[in-house]
Amino acid sequence: MIVMSENIAIEVADLKKWFPVRKGFLASLTSREQSFVHAVDGVSFRIKRGEVFGLAGESGSGKTTTGRLLLKLTEPTSGTMYFKGEDITALPEKELKPLRRTMQIIFQDPYESLNPRMTISDILAEPVIVQGTAHGEAEVREKVVQILKDVELVPPEEFLLRYPHELSGGQRQRVSIARAFILNPEFIIADEPVSMLDVSIRADILNLMLDLVEKFKVSFLYITHDLALARHMCDRIAIMYLGKIVEMGSVEKIVYEPLHPYTKALISAVPIPDPTAERIKVVITGEIPSPVNPPSGCRFHTRCPVVMDVCSKEEPPLIDVGKEHYVACHLHK
């Protein structure tokens, strides 16, 4: 069914992750039914080689879980994932190690994701030694020095023996980026990589990531809630709501011609740093419902300003409306 073309790095089909809800003792007596948090509930997308693909949505939309599933940091409930045409969904533990070399992640918080007891040189050398991509001290050191230059932590000698607490937030995030790129991976996930950083230095980190994506020719998944940043980073974006992709397409399509009422609301809610800009506000009420019992039919129908009868009954499929623009809404068929 799935046609693999040469230039697809990642393909995900109907991926689901349900987390069981743990019940108290008394609740378990009254009901035997197991309830689940439908964190990711049937998402399908492709990431092309060398592409920056964005996954955007509010908290609780399942974007981070999707990222973790792709890296096999958590097991999917169902669905399939392909990496360069190879099914990696059920790969046994032993075969994961070579895969890990090719897939890396940059975490959100550079204050938590670097071991405070390791020097920068040790932090960067560890993946190289574990994966055996360089042999002998000199070779490892050469790789570490080179990657520090790549992430513009220069002169590298000044950073090698320092500890994370001696670096600023921006410098730490550069170390995180260096650690992800040092193994020459083919696919990198960045989960809100600049949300903990000061605004004045965010741009440098984002530009650095874009430069490295081009230089190392990696495919990049950028997970964020900030659509203004996503627009500047990504080639294509998927908008998630309660574990589902509601709309997906090129950045220009999503930002300038959104079709789904949720995307429209999301785009218009983004504050614009220009006091004279024209503002069309589609303010929707309420907040994202619980993913334990997501609404029936279209999940957005409880907040949708243009809801119809069919919306609460039937779930709209994600359909192609042309030019790789997909939308899941009964209004667009």
Partner 1 sequence: MALLEIQDLKTYYYTLRGPVKAVDGINFQVKKGEALGLAGESGCGKTTVALSVLRILPAGGKIVGGKILFRGEDLVKLKDKRMREIRWKGISIVFQGAMNALNPLFKVGDQIVEAIRLHEPKVKKKQAWERTEKLFETVGLEPSRAKHYPHEYSGGMRQRGLIAMALACNPGLLIADEPGTALDVIVQAQVLKLMSELKDKLNLGMILITHDLSIITETCEKTAIMYAGKIVEQGDIVTIFKEPLHPYTQGLISAFPSIKAAKRRMTSIHGSPPDLLKPPTGCRFHPRCPHAMDICKKQDPRPLKLARDHYVACHLVEMGKTG
Among 26, 283, 323, 333, binds partner 1 (CB under 8 A): 283
3-state DSSP call for residue 17? strand
86-87 β-sheet, strand order: 36-48, 8-20, 78-83, 86-87
Determine the interface stretch with partner 1 among 30-38, 69-77, 103-111, 227-235 (rule: CB under 8 A).
227-235
CA distance linking residue 62 with residue 99, whole number of Å: 23
CA distance linking residue 145 with residue 28, whole number of Å: 56
**Binding characters for partner 1, 286-305, by CB under 8 A (x = yes):** -xx-----------------
Among 266, 304, 311, 327, binds partner 1 (CB under 8 A): 266
Query: What's the closest the beta carbon of residue 288 comes to partner 1, in angstroms?
Result: 7
> Binding of partner 1 at residue 315 (CB under 8 A)?
no
> Binding of partner 1 at residue 307 (CB under 8 A)?
no
Burial 261-279 (b: 16+ CB within 10 A, else e): bbbbbbbeeeeeeeeeeee
Give the CA-trace dihedral at 22, 27, 30, 34, to 10 degrees. Answer: -10
Report residue 113 as tokens. Answer: 């994701």
> Binding of partner 1 at residue 69 (CB under 8 A)?
no
Cβ atoms of residues 184 and 218 within 8 Å: no
**Binding characters for partner 1, 8-27, by CB under 8 A (x = yes):** --------------------
> Binding of partner 1 at residue 153 (CB under 8 A)?
no
Query: What's the closest the beta carbon of residue 192 comes to partner 1, in angstroms?
Result: 13
Residues that bind partner 1 (CB under 8 A): 58-59, 168-170, 198-204, 206-207, 225-229, 231-232, 251, 255, 265-277, 281, 283-285, 287-288
